[in-house]
């Protein structure tokens, strides 16, 4: 069984390339984040300040995969901001 990934949300700090971004984790650490294949194929572009859901491995907290953006309804309920890193099975 593959190791579980960790999911968290945080804001985009800057766009570094077509699929590469600098993002902020809830603990204040700045990381590199890249778009998932699905978002790359859809040509999704995130702007600085926009919140995204990211996936990290338990072995490397310096990079993440961006799974999707956090919608306005999630921000209004507080689910998008300041969420802790949660394991997914």
Q: Which residue has the tokens 């394991």?
A: 87
List the chain domain ranges: 5-88
d(CA 10, CA 81) in angstroms, rounded, equals 7
What is the pTM for the complete model shown?
Answer: 0.77
Tell me what pLDDT residue 11 has: 96
* Helix/strand/coil for 39: helix
pLDDT under 50: residue ranges of the chain? 1, 73, 75-83
Residue for token digits 């969420």? 83
Contact status, residue 79 vs residue 69, Cβ threshold 8 Å? no
Model pLDDT, residue 13: 97
Q: What is the pLDDT of residue 3?
A: 75
What is residue 78's predicted lDDT score, i.e. its pLDDT? 43
pLDDT at 79: 45
Architecture category of domain 5-88 in CATH: Beta Barrel (2.40)
């Amino acid at each position: 069984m593959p190791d579980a990934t960790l999911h968290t949300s945080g804001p985009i700090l800057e766009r570094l390339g077509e699929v590469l971004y600098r993002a902020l984790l809830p603990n204040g650490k700045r990381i590199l984040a890249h778009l998932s294949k699905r978002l790359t194929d859809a040509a999704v572009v995130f702007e600085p300040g926009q919140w995204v859901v990211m996936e990290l491995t338990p072995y490397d907290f310096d990079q993440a995969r961006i799974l999707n953006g956090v919608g306005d309804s999630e921000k209004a309920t507080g689910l998008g901001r300041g969420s802790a890193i949660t394991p997914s099975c």
